[in-house]
Amino acid sequence: MTFPERPFSSGAEFFDAYAGQVTRALASVSRERLAAAERLLADAHLRGAQVFSCGNGGSAAIANHLVCDHSRGLSADTGLRPRVQSLVATVEVVTAIANDVAYAEVFAVQLRLQARPGDVLVTISSSGDSENVVRAIQWAKDNGVASIALTGFSGGRSAALADVALHVEADNYGVIEDVHQSLMHALAQSLRMRAMPADLVACRKF
């Protein structure tokens, strides 16, 4: 059964049903895998490794937003100097690779140019089957770069290839993207709390 399975009589009625879907989707994420993702990111930041993010469409927006929360946000009160970069942020680079090579290679080519063993790649793809995302994870796997894949629907090839798959059990793009955004925020804020003085947590805005 997909959601929505029928038209709703009003936006308010749909919102209540939508909220229920988001609640169930949030509960579906493996807490063990979430902890594993946090460990990978924490270790990367402590070592000064680079964290890359990528995605398409709405997932591209989450990949760009991740840079803000996992760099500026995470550095506040922690002494950390996170190195975080979105592979979708520079339209000139993305379109040059798409035009000269192939759109399926827009992320993998950038990783070949910039990534080093020990870095971390975070991918966001609701289907888990976006070809450019899958190729990026495969390149990472072949070159010593750890990967965290945020997925939905069936998980696709991304969930199977990644070192850590944060899979959302849902079949609605909006619901999946809402949970992916929540995962991105929760990881950033948890990492910040762990790295800052405990007595400052209640005094700061998150």
pLDDT for the residue numbered 185:
98
Q: Which residues pair with 52 in a beta bridge?
A: 85, 121
pLDDT for the residue numbered 44:
98
Residues of the chain whose pLDDT is less than 50?
none
pLDDT for the residue numbered 183:
98
Burial of 198 (0-12, 13-18, 19+ CB in 10 A): exposed
**Domains annotated on the chain, with CATH:** 31-203 (3.40.50.10490)
What's the pLDDT tens digit per position in 148-176? 999 999 999 999 999 999 999 999 999 99
Burial of 144 (0-12, 13-18, 19+ CB in 10 A): exposed
User: Coil, strand or helix: which one is 71?
Assistant: helix
* Distance from C-alpha of 30 to C-alpha of 166, rounded to nearest angstrom: 7
| CA 149 to chain CA mean position, Å | 7
Tell me phi and psi for residue 116, to 5 degrees.
-130, 155
Structure token pair of residue 103: 């759109």
pLDDT for the residue numbered 91:
97
* Distance from C-alpha of 146 to C-alpha of 120, rounded to nearest angstrom: 5
pLDDT for the residue numbered 37:
98
Q: Tell me how many degrees the CA angle 192-196-201 measures, rounded to the nearest 5.
A: 85
Please report which residue ranges of 145-202 form alpha helices under DSSP H: 156-161, 173-195
pLDDT for the residue numbered 52:
98
